[in-house]
Amino acid sequence: MQPLVVSHPLAQCHLTEMRNASTPSHRFRRHLNLLGRMLFLEATRELSVEAIRVQTPLQETDGVTLARPMVLVPILRAGLGLLDGILSLVPDASVAHVGIKRNEETALPQPYYANLPPVITEADVFLLDPMLATGGSAVEAARQLKAAGAKHVTMLCVVSCPQGIATLSKAHPDVRIVTAAIDDSLNDCRYIVPGLGDAGDRYFGTL
Ligand code: PRP
Ligand code: URA
């Protein structure tokens, strides 16, 4: 499955502001929030719906409702930056959490928390993380989701790179990837280049 790259000009403007090292945390947060909404709108373009009838004040007419429940899963910490904007579009969605911290020296994922509700087994699940670098964190998160019974998983990430996409696609070929950019590569510290730096630190102001 090829990643969906959201090339909408407004999405690319938000991304450019986020890449800019001079953008302070409060503006970085705002751009991540808005870009997250745009990624989510593109990711859900083909979402399954069911036909229902609805009574307007004047008469009955046709309408639709989501065919499956929806679960949003931010990978702590930085994934939280995508959550609020998306939740404003789907206020009925459930929110699950997966906590994973990349080891600073090895870049291997270290899981430290998980809270995955039973509804995940029948839901459209959206895994949220601004960065797909080595892919280690996303592979581990998808593993946990599937172990909990998730079947329909989409990964939303702002910046990805070929290595992360290849690693996630090999481990979980059924997980769809939606991203605003596929950057060139990883540097020696396994940061995405050109990238946007450490997303969690920039979002939370902990640089
Ligand atoms: C960052 C990012 C991803 C991960 C990506 O989180 O938000 O979760 O690294 O790297 P990978 O693809 O090589 O696994 P980090 O581990 O720095 O934690 P944080 O969100 O708490 O800052
Ligand atoms: N985590 C980040 O926040 N940024 C990167 O470039 C890689 C991992």
pLDDT confidence of residue 178: 98
pLDDT confidence of residue 141: 98
> For residue 82, what is the enclosing H or E element?
helix 80-89
**Domain chopping of the chain, boundaries:** 4-204
pLDDT confidence of residue 59: 98
pTM comes to 0.97
pLDDT confidence of residue 154: 98
- Tokens coding 169: 């696609």
Q: Which CATH class is domain 4-204?
A: alpha beta
Q: How do residues 87-136 score in pLDDT, each as one tens digit? A: 999 999 999 999 999 999 999 999 999 999 999 999 999 999 999 999 99
- In the residue annotation, 102 being an active-site residue is answered as yes
Is residue 1's pLDDT more than 90?
A: no
Q: Which atom of ligand 1 is least distant from the CA of 75?
A: 8
- In the residue annotation, 106 being an active-site residue is answered as yes
Nearest residue to 131 (alpha-carbon basis) of 70, 180, 170, 86: 180
- Tokens coding 103: 């080891």
- 96 CB near ligand 1 (under 6 Å): no
pLDDT confidence of residue 92: 96
- In the residue annotation, 201 being an active-site residue is answered as yes
> Where on the phi/psi map is residue 60: left (φ > 0), alpha (ψ -120 to 50), or beta?
beta
Please state the rounded mean pLDDT for residues 177-201: 98
pLDDT confidence of residue 44: 98
Buried b (16+ CB within 10 A) or exposed e, 151-168: ebbbbbbbbbbebbbebb
pLDDT confidence of residue 33: 98
Ligand 2 neighbours, Cβ below 6 Å, are 131, 133, 191-192, 195, 198-200
Q: How do residues 39-88 score in pLDDT, each as one tens digit? A: 999 999 999 999 999 999 999 999 999 999 999 999 999 999 999 999 99
